[in-house]
Chain A
Amino acid sequence: MLMPAPDQATIARRRDIATDLRRIVPSEAVIEGETGRRVYESDGLTAYRQPPLLAVLPETTDQVAAILRYCFRHRIKVVPRGAGTSLSGGALPLADGVLLGMAKFNHIREIDLANRCVVAEPGVTNLSISNAVSDAGFFYAPDPSSQIACTIGGNVAENSGGVHCLKYGLTTNNVLGIELVTIEGDIVRLGAKGLDSGGYDLLGVVTGSEGLLGVVTEVTVRILPKPAAARAMLVGFPASEHAGSCVAAIIAAGIIPGGMEMMDKAAINAAEDFVAAGYPRDAGALLIIELDGPPAEIAHLLERVESIARANGADSVRVSSNEAERLLFWAGRKAAFPAVGRISPDYYCVDGTIPRKKLSLVLTRMNELSATIGLRVANVFHAGDGNLHPLILYDANKPGELERAEQLGAEILRLCVAVGGVLTGEHGVGVEKRDLMTTMFSDADLNQQMRLKCAFDAEGLLNPGKVFPQLRRCAELGRLHVHHGETPFPELERF
């Protein structure tokens, strides 16, 4: 992966920059030693490593603003980082860039039950928001698998999803407001505790912008009352085609389950070996369907879903009989990644979304690609919303296997785009899928996105080398080109 060439002059000034930053934050909050910097060299995408120029750990919004103002004035690149769980290399440092660690922003500032929202600092973990309001009967809906570790600031940067977003939406649908510091050091508030601010929806744009537009220093999220009850069912099918048509039939019947996950045979067996959740080992595909709401609704829908499943070829159906069993059903799915980690020295997690009806075509083609390239694939799949997570099994110690795994991943993502889907459903573009952006977007599409970046960060200092395959200067992008010369509007009707 080619990153922008580091600026040697900046690297040579490491000591001076550290000294300057120590005028903004306490001395120990600037990390310039080799060992200390190595801590930050990688995020959840461990194939790429690069220690930063230095790391700085502010704890107030004013410090963040002062650091960014300093970096802007001296044209120093900045890479923001939450917990470092990105699976797309969103927090991969730069040799000539300051790593801005937000870990000290770890307090919940306000729990406002009357307005059903929580105001949190960006370094607060996703799960701790739900935990903080659990006793009052509320939860925060987006629940990425990394929710124990990942931070709400990182969730905003990546627009994180999770197994419950089919019914409850993604991060972008659950964030009410943020405080954002621009690279120029301006502090702006986007949104608040009310709904739908007037003006351009910059909150919607910053959410999912992968740290390229500004640094989030506070997040206001909406919280929801916990459903009265929830039950999960395990439905085994002879093959994934049957499971796919069952998912379509459930939705066509007007039922939106709280969660609807699919696993293929390889993933079922890996998870079963690891967790012993009682998954049907002989099934070709497994659906985990969760229904939540009042018990009367759950009973009604369980019956309807089971009959739809049987009509679509299900050969086993098990419904959780208590809360412990429901959690056990999920434990297998939630542990699918580490479970696959046990059967292979390394695995590479892919993240594309497809129109659901293309599932069987995509799985067939994926098996062919897997055979051609010679690496096994286990599939877990957010079936309700078409978000695929093929896990490519490889061994990094075997020369060339990582490259082949990346090649297979790229082929799978191209396939997702070719059938009408997208490159990334919830993990972000980062460095990982940066060079595939042109398979989905034209030059004009990408230019418009890069121009938007220029409105926030004209010098390209925030997280450069991520998302966009080619860096273009804002001055060049900003020019107004008119391609068609001086022809008047001959084709246009006039009234």
Chain B
Amino acid sequence: MSQLRPADPLQLSEAIAQCALRRETVELVAGGSKRGYGRPVNAAHRLDLSAFAGIRLYEPEELVLTAGAATELGKIETELAGARQHLAFEPPDWRHLWRSKAAPTLGGAIACNLSGPRRLRDGAARDHHLGFQAVSGRGESFKSGGRVVKNVTGYDLSKLIAGSFGTLAAVTEITVKTVPAPEETATLLLKGLGDSAAQAAMTAALAGPYEVSGAAHLPGERLTLLRLEGHAPSVTARRDALVALLAGFGAIESVDNDTSLVHWRQVRDAMPFANLPEHAIWRVSVAPSAGPPLVAALSPELDFQHFYDWAGGLVWLAVAGSDDGGAAAIRAALPENSGHATLLRAGEALRERVAVFQPLPGALATLSARVKATFDPAGILNPGRMYKDV
């Protein structure tokens, strides 16, 4: 595998155009921290995008930041914290799952459409991606979107690029919406609930005006977490109201800012699975009420551990000792017409053999393949990263 490191967009265009002409495949890498996410890519060239780094524009009062795609997320988060802002989609750090030490980048966060516990209220990376500059698989530079939130000019390609795992274009520059960081965070800890009771408690909390920004349940510790964020007097008022509402669910402890941050980092980064190096790890997205029944359906079939985020709508599974990592059983247990099981971490051989992303029904698979071909007709960008022949 040869290494290419274009220094500017023109060289990047040239490199991709040449590869397209020769039908030579490329693997796109910015920081490289998430190379274990998706199907393995065996490309002729490794295209190193690390030259496209650096914050180009940050205007806190305009809630906007533009940076090179390879800018380290850590640098961006530090810069934002200086103006008491953050990326509201709460990008997780899953490097421990892949045993990676590389620095995660903004481009990687967008390419994988990352989202943390706050997805529940504030959306995923896609919802904060305002615009980008990229080079398509044709070697053409193009842009989409802009630097303002209110924008319906042309198709919203920012959404499409988010979560496309580098299979459509090599993104060089990204504009995201920034958001004021909460002044205060409090977490209610409900203790001793089983999965169904925890789901009922989370549903009750989300049905009222409490602006819950995180709702998770850790069955191992029988711990249910509800997060409240915002201006200090507001957090206090909502916390008190919520404690009263949930009194029937048993013992409730309220923890303050610093303890809250630790808890939510654990949930965000899937730390309950930190010491399961051989397990296949899945993220399963379903309607929130479908979470506990899904787990119940799997119980007799698989050897697994689990926890819930997004009020039950995100089921984390760590599966042991199964030939297919549990793929067939998990996908068979999904409700009809809905639910997406993604194999977040597994060995290369398993990711080669098993569909990492939820297989698409016929018409949708055809449409997705056509969309890919419009950006990358020669099929050279990260081939097979998402689906075997796409």
CA distance A293 to B120 in the complex (A): 18
Q: Is A264 an interface residue (CB 8 A)?
A: no
Contacts of B382 in A (CB 8 A): none
CA distance A189 to B339 in the complex (A): 12
Q: Which of A112, A295, A448, A452 has the largest number of chain B CB atoms within 10 A? A: A448
Contacting residue for A196 out of B85, B113, B366, CB 8 A: B113
Q: Which residue of B lies closest to A425 (CB)?
A: B150
**Hey, which bits of chain A sit against chain B, CB under 8 A?**
112-117, 136-138, 158-159, 161, 165-166, 169-170, 172-173, 177, 182, 186-190, 192-205, 207-209, 225-228, 248-249, 251-252, 254-256, 293-297, 299-301, 353-357, 382, 385-387, 420-429, 433, 437, 440-442, 444-449, 451-456, 467, 478, 480-484, 487-489, 491-495
CA distance A426 to B310 in the complex (A): 29
Least CB distance from B387 to A in Å reads 8
Contacting residue for A440 out of B153, B233, B289, B340, CB 8 A: B153
**Known: A192-B287, A227-B209. Contact between A425 and B152, CB under 8 A?**
yes
Q: Which residue of B lies closest to A113 (CB)?
A: B207
Q: Is B25 an interface residue (CB 8 A)?
A: no
Q: Is B197 an interface residue (CB 8 A)?
A: no
Contacts of A255 in B (CB 8 A): 180, 231
Contacting residue for A254 out of B181, B285, B363, CB 8 A: B181
| Contact status B364-A494, CB under 8 Å | no
Contacting residue for A301 out of B144, B231, B364, B372, CB 8 A: B231
Contacts of A158 in B (CB 8 A): 152
**A to B CB contacts below 8 Å, 19 in the list:** A166-B149, A170-B149, A193-B286, A197-B358, A202-B371, A209-B156, A225-B208, A249-B61, A293-B211, A296-B237, A355-B62, A355-B147, A441-B143, A444-B142, A445-B154, A446-B154, A478-B377, A482-B17, A493-B4
Least CB distance from A180 to B in Å reads 9
Contacting residue for A484 out of B18, B123, B127, B238, CB 8 A: B18
Q: Is B146 an interface residue (CB 8 A)?
A: yes
Contacts of A491 in B (CB 8 A): 6-7, 11, 14
Interface of B is mostly: mixed
CA distance A234 to B233 in the complex (A): 23
CA distance A487 to B139 in the complex (A): 14
Q: Which of A193, A208, A209, A449 has the largest number of chain B CB atoms within 10 A? A: A193
Contacts of B357 in A (CB 8 A): 198-199
Contacts of B115 in A (CB 8 A): 195-196
Q: Which residue of A lies closest to B46 (CB)?
A: A495
CA distance A453 to B371 in the complex (A): 9
Contacts of A190 in B (CB 8 A): 364
CA distance A448 to B378 in the complex (A): 15
Contacting residue for B156 out of A113, A204, A467, CB 8 A: A204
Task: Spot the interface stretch: B71-79, B92-100, B159-167, B268-276.
Answer: B159-167
Least CB distance from A230 to B in Å reads 10
| Contact status A199-B386, CB under 8 Å | yes
| Contact status A425-B17, CB under 8 Å | no
**Hey, which bits of chain B sit against chain A, CB under 8 A?**
2-7, 11, 14-15, 17-18, 20-21, 59-64, 83-85, 113, 115, 119-120, 123-124, 126-127, 136, 138-144, 146-160, 162-164, 168, 179-181, 183, 203, 206-211, 230-234, 236-238, 241, 285-290, 310, 313-314, 337-340, 342, 357-358, 360-361, 363-364, 366-368, 370-375, 377-378, 386
Q: Which residue of A lies closest to B140 (CB)?
A: A444
| Contact status B160-A200, CB under 8 Å | yes
CA distance A199 to B374 in the complex (A): 16
| Contact status B209-A226, CB under 8 Å | yes
Contacts of B314 in A (CB 8 A): 195
CA distance A356 to B60 in the complex (A): 12
**Known: A173-B123, A188-B364. Contact between A297 and B338, CB under 8 A?**
no
CA distance A304 to B370 in the complex (A): 52
| Contact status A192-B207, CB under 8 Å | no
CA distance A461 to B8 in the complex (A): 39
**Known: A201-B113, A205-B159. Contact between A194 and B21, CB under 8 A?**
no
| Contact status B234-A196, CB under 8 Å | no
Contacts of B162 in A (CB 8 A): 201, 204
CA distance A451 to B289 in the complex (A): 39
| Contact status A115-B287, CB under 8 Å | yes
| Contact status B371-A455, CB under 8 Å | yes
Contacts of B149 in A (CB 8 A): 165-166, 170, 353, 385-386
Contacting residue for A172 out of B156, B233, B337, CB 8 A: B156
Contacts of A494 in B (CB 8 A): 2-4
| Contact status A207-B148, CB under 8 Å | no
Least CB distance from B6 to A in Å reads 6
Contacts of A426 in B (CB 8 A): 150, 152
Contacting residue for B154 out of A165, A226, A441, CB 8 A: A441
Q: Which residue of B lies closest to A226 (CB)?
A: B209
**Known: A480-B138, A491-B14, A493-B5. Contact between A422 and B160, CB under 8 A?**
no
CA distance A304 to B337 in the complex (A): 48
Contacting residue for A189 out of B180, B183, B337, B372, CB 8 A: B337
| Contact status A353-B374, CB under 8 Å | no
| Contact status A294-B156, CB under 8 Å | no
| Contact status A482-B147, CB under 8 Å | no
| Contact status B150-A225, CB under 8 Å | no
Contacting residue for A489 out of B14, B211, B378, CB 8 A: B14
| Contact status B374-A488, CB under 8 Å | no
| Contact status B339-A252, CB under 8 Å | no
| Contact status B11-A492, CB under 8 Å | yes
Would you list the 9 A-B pairs with minimal beta carbon distance, nearest first? Answer: A204-B159, A297-B234, A192-B338, A254-B180, A193-B287, A425-B150, A451-B374, A455-B370, A296-B237
Contacting residue for B233 out of A177, A296, A488, CB 8 A: A296
Least CB distance from B43 to A in Å reads 15
| Contact status A188-B363, CB under 8 Å | yes
Least CB distance from B183 to A in Å reads 7
**Known: A208-B155, A422-B146, A456-B367. Contact between A478 and B374, CB under 8 A?**
yes
| Contact status B123-A489, CB under 8 Å | no
**Known: A114-B289, A422-B148, A482-B139. Contact between A200 and B368, CB under 8 A?**
yes
Q: Which residue of A lies closest to B10 (CB)?
A: A491
CA distance A197 to B342 in the complex (A): 9
| Contact status B160-A202, CB under 8 Å | yes
| Contact status B148-A198, CB under 8 Å | no
| Contact status A444-B141, CB under 8 Å | yes
| Contact status A357-B159, CB under 8 Å | no
| Contact status A196-B375, CB under 8 Å | no
Q: List 5 extra interface pairs beyond A204-B156, A251-B61, A299-B233, CB under 8 A.
A: A355-B59, A356-B61, A357-B62, A445-B154, A494-B4
CA distance A488 to B45 in the complex (A): 14
Least CB distance from A289 to B in Å reads 15
Contacts of A201 in B (CB 8 A): 113, 126, 159-160, 162-164
Least CB distance from B55 to A in Å reads 17
| Contact status B150-A200, CB under 8 Å | no
| Contact status A198-B342, CB under 8 Å | yes
| Contact status B289-A196, CB under 8 Å | no
